[in-house]
Amino acid sequence: AVVVVGFRTSNPSGYGRLIEKGGKLIAIREEKDCTDEEKKITFCNGGLMAVAGKHALQLLDQVGNDNAKGEYYLTDIVEIAGGQGFDVVAAEAGFEDVLGINNRAELAAAEGIWQTRRRREAMLSGVSLIAPETVFFSYDTEIGADTIVEPNVWFGPGVTIATGARIHAFSHIEGATIASDCDVGPFARLRPGADLRQKAKVGNFCEVKQATVEAGAKVNHLTYIGDARVGAGANIGAGTITCNYDGYSKFFTDIGEGAFVGSNSSLVAPVTIGKGGYVASGSVITESVPDDALAFGRARQRTLPGKGKELRERFAAAAAARKKG
């Protein structure tokens, strides 16, 4: 009539005890109501109970609140059913499958169990985890065989990785799609909407958000790509930024196939860099660049001979005067 799922533990503190007699379950006793002898029982309530439908309502009607907490315990059904001659039994499950979670420390312990299982599952499916204990998955992470994940990588919700990718150390990835043979990190951040196509590269200290990096394109280092498309085979130099937000709205940057954006450039959206376009290093680009065009967006350099020495002498004298004062 009633089946209860229980588990055994060397530390039963806080759990209701399953009290058996002659192979039958006769009661579930909450810890506050246990005698000293009952507290020594290590067979505990796992929190799952099945009650035969034809008996359920009349058993529920008899549940009272005569206990240390003055609460109505569903678990009293066990003793009530046994008292009416019904068969009541306990089925044993593994501790990890039914452990209780009452605080943040226990939640973290349960998460640790799940992560250990998920890491093993990934490795058995052909994923290489260099330091498994430092890699953290989400419930929906999909990762293909022959992918290599280096230490200290965090996968948030919504990540899909195809086969043969390499995720370097200290990368943070969520809401992203990574195609086969891509190379990510180290210290890369892929935010929701990041879509890396085959053999794309997002290198160290780069951030990609709501943007597509097409096949073979490279975003190598110290770069932000947001609300953008980086065309196939394009190369984005170090320190490049897509300026996609004006404080009120987001705007799109379109970088064409085979384009080259020099280091330390700012692309002020909305703007288009045409196929094969070339942006000189240090440029601020506010107008679209046609296919195969070269764009400069920086002040012209001036060199004044001897002026550096003069400035140093002037600054040193001013510092010395302040020190005396």
Q: What is the pLDDT of residues 279-303, one digit of tens each?
A: 999 999 999 999 999 999 988 889 9
Residues paired with residue 211 on neighbouring β-strands, in sequence order: 228
Average pLDDT over residues 227-235: 98
> Which pLDDT score, from 0 to 100, does residue 66 have?
84
Structural domain spans, the chain: 2-98, 137-295
> Which pLDDT score, from 0 to 100, does residue 279 have?
97
End-to-end CA separation in angstroms for the chain: 94
Q: Do domains 2-98 and 137-295 have the same CATH topology?
A: no
> Which pLDDT score, from 0 to 100, does residue 2 have?
95
Options 55, 168, 172, 221, the catalytic residue: 221
Question: Which run of H or E residues covers position 2?
Answer: strand 2-8
Q: What is the pLDDT of residues 2-34, one digit of tens each?
A: 999 999 998 898 889 999 988 889 999 988 889
Q: What is the pLDDT of residues 153-166, one digit of tens each?
A: 999 999 999 999 99
Q: What is the largest CA-CA distance in the chain?
A: 106
Asked whether the beta carbons of 293 and 278 are under 8 A apart, the reply is yes
- CA–CA distance, 282 with 241 (Å, rounded to integer): 11
Q: What is the pLDDT of residues 64-78, one digit of tens each?
A: 998 778 889 888 999
Give me the chain's average pLDDT, please.
Answer: 95
2-98 folds as Spore Coat Polysaccharide Biosynthesis Protein SpsA; Chain A (3.90.550)
For the 137-295 domain, the top CATH level (class) is mainly beta
- CA–CA distance, 52 with 59 (Å, rounded to integer): 10
> Which pLDDT score, from 0 to 100, does residue 32 have?
87
Closest Cα partner for 156 from 190, 116, 109, 201? 190
Average pLDDT over residues 215-223: 97
- CA–CA distance, 152 with 171 (Å, rounded to integer): 7
Closest Cα partner for 147 from 107, 178, 175? 178
Q: What is the pLDDT of residues 36-53, one digit of tens each?
A: 999 999 999 998 999 999
- What percentage of the chain has pLDDT greater than the value 90? 85
Indicate if 221 belongs to the active site: yes
